[in-house]
Structure 1
Amino acid sequence: MVRAGAVGTHLPTSSLDIFGDLRKMNKRQCTIISSIVPEKYDRLYYQVLNFAMIVSSALMIWKGLIVLTGSESPIVVVLSGSMEPAFHRGDLLFLTNFREDPIRAGEIVVFKVEGRDIPIVHRVIKVHEKDNGDIKFLTKGDNNEVDDRGLYKEGQNWLEKKDVVGRARGFLPYVGMVTIIMNDYPKFKYALLAVMGAYVLLKRES
């Protein structure tokens, strides 16, 4: 049985729902609220503004990393144990994907397969280079007994450069375990959001 070394690339977006609620409030409603509780409204306004600045800064940093690394997902979390002992579940990988860099046997790549939503992180075990410069390669998880042909789409025996999301250049062990816990235990995610919401309300009232 082949285990796929899946990686997660999603950023939490549930907290952005507050902007949808704010857009529903017209100017008249805002004026009424401001006249009734001006101080609380001002605090809420500044908290929303600060939150928007934090989100904007995070998005700018993420876009900057995409440009600098050449990868559409410069940072990913390992979701399975198919690459043990090299990488474990929860390890945070840093990727680059410069097209001019050749793919070589032995390096670890993150790739997408048609029909699978989650990218896979496995090692290149064979490289086939044609005379015209086109490269095809085969991958395998270090902890798997067989290669990845069973994971590719039907009829596909090799991967190409266009399938690669990035190449692993470094990692931080277990830093991404929070992401895995939230995926495996949705109740924990909701509890965390509730705690964050309670903290914002208490801070606003203080």
Structure 2
Amino acid sequence: MGMIGDAVSAIKATNVRHIALQAISLGMIVTSALIIWKGLMCFTGSESPVVVVLSGSMEPGFRRGDILFLHMSKAPIRAGEIVVFHVDGRDIPIVHRVIKVHERVETNEVEVLTKGDNNMGDDRVLYAHGQMWLQRHHIMGRAVGFLPYVGWVTIIMTEKPYIKYLLIGALGLLVITSKE
């Protein structure tokens, strides 16, 4: 009976070690992703270096599901640039083109008006109540590149949360059942 008990103890210890190694591997992957994200934030000067286009308001230039790469330099914002901005009271950032810029030299302030290429009117209806212009602190970054359609994974997981939970469950099952 002692030999069987020793074998069971050895199997349990091996399983615990295997699960611990899997958890450490998963933790290293998540940590690496966070380090890359923070590095991109420092390099691009933007709080959100990558965004997904969620609407068709910028078609045909950018389509729903495209991923945009952002950069925020100290250079002046100019009409014609595509920027990503946030509006007070809204969680989701907006990707639109700058159509007018007012610069106040004496105070070094900039006021910006935006519009979606595919929209009829400017974005004042999207801004906070009573707001007529965006200030520099609203601008999260300028679009400097994009990957078409790659963001659909994010859109699908946001609009259909059960798919996200299925993927997380499948990943968890894979980690638990995988053998070395």
Residue 145 in structure 1 maps to residue 120 in structure 2: yes
Gaps of 5+ in 2: 1-8
Aligned residues: 171
Counterpart residue type for residue 78 of structure 1: V
Please identify runs of 4+ aligned residues in structure 1 that moved more than 3 A: none
1:114 to 88, 91, 115: 88
Question: Which residue pairs with 1:101 in the alignment?
Answer: 75
The 5-angstrom pairing of residues 48-67 of structure 1 reads 48-67=23-42
Question: Which residue pairs with 2:18 in the alignment?
Answer: 43
- TM normalised by structure 2 equals 0.90
Question: Which residue pairs with 1:3 in the alignment?
Answer: none
Counterpart residue type for residue 83 of structure 2: V
Structure with the larger RCO, 1 or 2 (CA within 8 Å, 6+ apart): 1
The structure number with the bigger radius of gyration is 2
Contact kept? 2:19, 2:176, Cα under 8 Å: no
- TM normalised by structure 1 equals 0.79
Residue 128 in structure 1 maps to residue 102 in structure 2: yes
Q: What does the per-residue CA deviation read over 1:145-200, in whole Å, with 9 as the maximum and x for residues that have no partner? A: 00000011111101111111110000000001011011111121122122212222
Counterpart residue type for residue 137 of structure 1: V
Between the aligned partners of 1:89 and 1:56, the Cα distance in structure 2 is 29
What SS is found at the alignment partner of 2:129?
coil
Question: Which residue pairs with 2:50 in the alignment?
Answer: 75
Q: What does the per-residue CA deviation read over 1:78-133, in whole Å, with 9 as the maximum and x for residues that have no partner? A: 111111111111101000012x2110000000001001011111000011112323
Question: Which residue pairs with 2:174 in the alignment?
Answer: 199
Percent identity between the two aligned chains: 58
Query: What RMSD in Å do the two structures reach over aligned CA positions?
Result: 1.4
Q: What does the per-residue CA deviation read over 1:28-63, in whole Å, with 9 as the maximum and x for residues that have no partner? A: xxxxxx877100000011111111111111111111
